[in-house]
Every structure is written in C-alpha cells, then in structure tokens.
Amino acid sequence: MKKVLTGAVSIAMAATMLAGCGGSDSNSNTVRVAVGGDINTLDPAKVDASIDANIINNMYDGLYKLDSDGNTIPVLATDMPEISDDGLTYTIKFTEDAKWSDGEPLTADDFIYSWKRGAALGTANAYYSMFITKYISGAIDGSGDPNAFDNMTDFGAVALDDHTIQITLKDRVPFFTSVLVSNAFYPLREDIVGEDPLDDSWAKGTDYPVVGAFVPTKVDYAAGVSLTKNENYYLADEVKLDGIEYTVMTDQDSEVSAFKSGQLDLATSVNPETVYADDELKESIYTIDPFVCNYYILFNCGDENDQSTEGLKALKDVDIRHAISWAINREEVAAASGYGDAAYPLYGYVPSGIPGAHGDFREETGDETKYDLEAAKKIMEDKGYSADNMLTLEYKYNDTAMHKNIAQVLQANLKEIYIDLKCTSTEKSTFFDARDKGDGETFRHAMSADYFDPMTYLEMLYGKDTAGNLTDDATYESMLDAANAESDPTKRLEMLGDAERYLVEDQAYIAPLIGYSDPYLLNTNLKGLVSSPEGHYDLTRAYFE
C-alpha cells in the first residue's frame, strides 16, 4: 500500500502543537508522533496511504493482522478461517467480547455493511476496495454510483449469526486470508455513515465510535490527529498509554530537530542521510526488518496508440526498455538513497522478505535484469541514437531528498547510453495523480506489501483499472490467472516466478532499482512498539519504561 507524503508545516507551528500535547514533559503518558505529510482520510474504506493506515490501525481492530514476521494471525477472529474444500467459502468466527467505543456490541452485520459500502465506493474512490470487488462473489465496483449499494442484492459475504461471517469468493484465491488484514475489511456501522453510504464527512470529526484501542478526540487533516484511550475497548487492560498525538511535519530535517530537542517520541519521516551521519541518534534509529519495500522505474508503455511524444514512442520498444534497465548501476542508486546498509540493489520486482516455495521468493526466482552498460549502449546505437542524437525522456518523482538524489544517479547513468533524462519533481498529490493517470513517460514507484504473497506486487500491473498500471498485457494477466488457479502451493509460487520473469526480464515493463527500509527515530524509553513487514507500526501496546 503504500504511498509517500506531502504538505507544509513550519517547525514553529509543529513545535507549538507538540507543546500542547505535553512537550518535553517526561511524565506524559502520551506518545508524540510526527508524520511526513497531510492526512488524507480516516475512513477505513478509503485509506490507501501509509500515514492514514498507521493512524487508523490504532483506532480499529480487524479480523486479522500480520505479525512481525509476516504471518497472518487472528485479532478479532477467534481462529483462522474455515475454508471449504474447493477454496471458495471462508467461515470466520470472531470474539463476542468486542464492542464499539460507545458500548454497542460489534456484530457480523457491521463487517458486511462496511465491505458492501467499500464495493459501492469502488476503486476510483476507495482503492483497496479492489480486494472486495475482485474477490467476493456478487461484489460490484460501484465507482461512486449512489445506487450501487442497494443494487448488490447477491453480495457474497453474509452473517450466519451475530459473530460468524461466511464469505463466498468468485474464484479460488490462495492468499485471501492474508488479504483480510487490509483496512478495507475493518467494520463500520451504518448509523455512523448515515443515509448516504458514499459519504465520508463523518471521518473528519470526532463524534463517532470506533472498535479499536484509541478514539479520535481532535482531527485536522492538515495539522494532526489526537487519539485517546478507548475505555470501552474489550482489551483495555492491555493498553498502557493515555493517548497518541500525530503532528504533520513535512520537512524531514525539522522532524530530526524536534526529536533531538525532546518534542517527539517517534519521528516517521526523516532524512536518512542526516540520521545515519549523526552519532547522537544511533541509539534511537528504528528500522522495520524485514521491510518488504521495492523501488523501481515504471514505464508508460501500455497504450500502443499513445505515441504523442518522442519518449512515449520509444518506450513502446522493448529493446529500449531493456537498455534503460541494463544501464542503471544499482549499487550507485543504493548509495544515493542515503539508507546505508538498509538499502540493497534489486534485480527483480518482488523485494527480499516475501516467502516463496521453499524460502525467500526473491532468492528462488533470481535476478531478472542486470547491469550491462556496453550491451545497453549497443542497443541504443543500433536504434540510431548517439551523443549527437539523444533520446529525451521525462522522469517524474515527488520532491524529497531521497528521490532527487536517485533521479540524479539515473540521469547520469542514462546519459551514458544517449538518453537525456529530464527530471521533474512535484509535491506528492500532484505526482500521484499524474502517475495514476499515466500522465508522463517514466515515473518513480515504490510499494510495500498489502498482504504477504508475491501477488501483492504482481497484481499491481494486472487489469486496466488498476491505478498506475501502464502495461496492459493479456499474456501477463493470463499467467497470473493460471498461477492462482493452481492448487499446489509450491507449483503456484513457481508459476508466479515465471510471470515475474516475463514482466521484468522478457518485457521490461519496469526497471527495479533497490529494496530498502525507512529509518524512524524512536524514544529509547518507549517500549512495546510492534511493526510488520508491510511497513505498519502498532502503538496499541506501547508504554514508557
């Protein structure tokens, strides 16, 4: 899931808000967290960015979550799902103890309503509703149609009783239990949303109940969010904190300064070059390990008819895409990222840390691209390019120090093969909008896992309706379909490896660059923070030593 961030808040404004949350008071039992961009939404159905996800994960419990090793474990569910022999029906029981923060009991109907509403919103409005519309029988991508909710009369998720849910899938989905960790599957009550299921204005307030460890008490998407312990939480005895204060701070160096001055307990968006170079901070560096995040170049090569620029025309040529990938020195990219040992060269799409048939999927599948400058240069020369006849390409990225440094390495590498790479940086929302619409030639891209299976990456380039899918290849899609129809899990993973090789080695629809893990700064007295490989951190059981 997961995207990067923006906004603009001065260190003075941020410090003022932080001071109001307890400042440097060592007796405070509230964790002060800085996030690196505006909050987009706290509506679970619509959350698709890491900042928002990490906030609502403290406000809602789901049926399942990933543990620190990437295993799917029950949360509200009393056990793993009971799955029918044909793999199409999942029966899930959840605890009878859970209730909403206003004291109302949590029922199976709250889950069913939430999922049906997500489908009605559709991927255009709620990106991760794709997990509902793609997999659950009778689910229709409503794309915001006001009648879509009522029209789904055959929705394939039903309540067998108040605490038992039965889900019928359209087709067999071997990784579906892992998908259920998504915030798209969190519960929501109909009376919270109101008469219009497409409305999300309620999520900007604080007068609605939640079903997690903390309730919202102050919400300002541009400045921050305050959470307070939910006294009606069914496991309230396990929650030691009084609250969590999230402050938007878009300047990474300002986050470092605020942390060093004692105004923050957790800084989540910091300049890695600054952090790793500062000896005072070494004891406070926290990295999620493993953090299954890749970083790659996405080529706009899906629409064969779109040859409106020299670059778009050239990118339709698989040989040129190979030349670009082969010309990139990934060791230099890793060094430019500023992540030190937390970054590594990546020669395939799926990063290290995702399980394969017998071990690590990346190790089993092997390298799918290479560094071969001479071969790349020969391709370009055979296409008629030279130092006097350069190919001009535009590369878009959102404006952070890391992305800028990597862009400069790419620019220098590609100049060696007669490509003039024009690097264009914009703020986050503008960049994401352009990339999702395919408004450009090449884009920086990165993603962590939404569930713990290679498909979480591979399906990003499946289907025309997937945001940021600029490939559109029926052969690739059929390879994924065949793999997921395979009942033998070992053979299925091998088939996914073949699909990835087709994507990267044969067609070069992307150019993988590095895998990496973001550094956080964590108060050494704050214990009990738990993280998972997809990049989420959980403060619900944290405490000050």
Asked if the model's pLDDT at residue 15 lies above 80, the reply is no
Expressed in percent and rounded to 5, the helix, strand and coil fractions of the chain are 35, 20, 45
Of 14 and 164, the one with more pLDDT: 164
Q: What is the structure's pLDDT at 511?
A: 98
Contact call for residues 287 and 308 (beta carbons, < 8 A): no
Q: What percent of the chain has pLDDT over 90?
A: 78
pLDDT tens per residue, range 398-423: 988 889 999 999 999 999 999 999 99
Tokens 């159905």 sit on residue: 45
- pLDDT confidence tier of residue 308, bands split at 50, 70 and 90: confident
- pLDDT confidence tier of residue 290, bands split at 50, 70 and 90: confident
Contact call for residues 97 and 238 (beta carbons, < 8 A): no
pLDDT tens per residue, range 325-350: 999 999 999 999 988 888 999 999 99
Angle at 33 between CA 343 and CA 241, to 5 degrees: 120
With residue 254 as reference, give the H or E element that holds it.
Answer: helix 252-260
Q: What is the structure's pLDDT at 460?
A: 87
Rounded-to-integer distance, Cα 20 and Cα 22, Å: 6
Taking each helix axis as running N to C, give the angle between helix 474-485 and helix 489-501, from 0 to 180 degrees, rounded to the nearest 10: 170
Contact call for residues 363 and 348 (beta carbons, < 8 A): no
Average pLDDT, the chain: 91
Q: Mean pLDDT lowest for which of 113-117, 318-322, 483-487, 513-517?
A: 483-487
Asked if the model's pLDDT at residue 512 lies above 60, the reply is yes
Q: What is the structure's pLDDT at 466?
A: 57
Which amino acid, one-letter code, is at 52? D
pLDDT tens per residue, range 43-63: 999 998 899 999 999 999 999
Burial zone of 358 (CB within 10 Å; 0-12 exposed, 13-18 middle, 19+ buried): exposed
Rounded-to-integer distance, Cα 303 and Cα 506, Å: 18
Rounded-to-integer distance, Cα 56 and Cα 186, Å: 10
pLDDT tens per residue, range 225-277: 999 999 999 999 999 999 999 999 999 999 999 999 999 999 999 988 889 98
- Give a three-class secondary structure readout of 349-398: CCCCCCECCCCEHHHHHCCCCCCCHHHHHHHHHHCCCECCECEEEEEEEE
Segment 482-489 mean pLDDT: 91
Would the pTM of this model clear 0.75, i.e. be above it?
A: yes
- pLDDT confidence tier of residue 5, bands split at 50, 70 and 90: very low
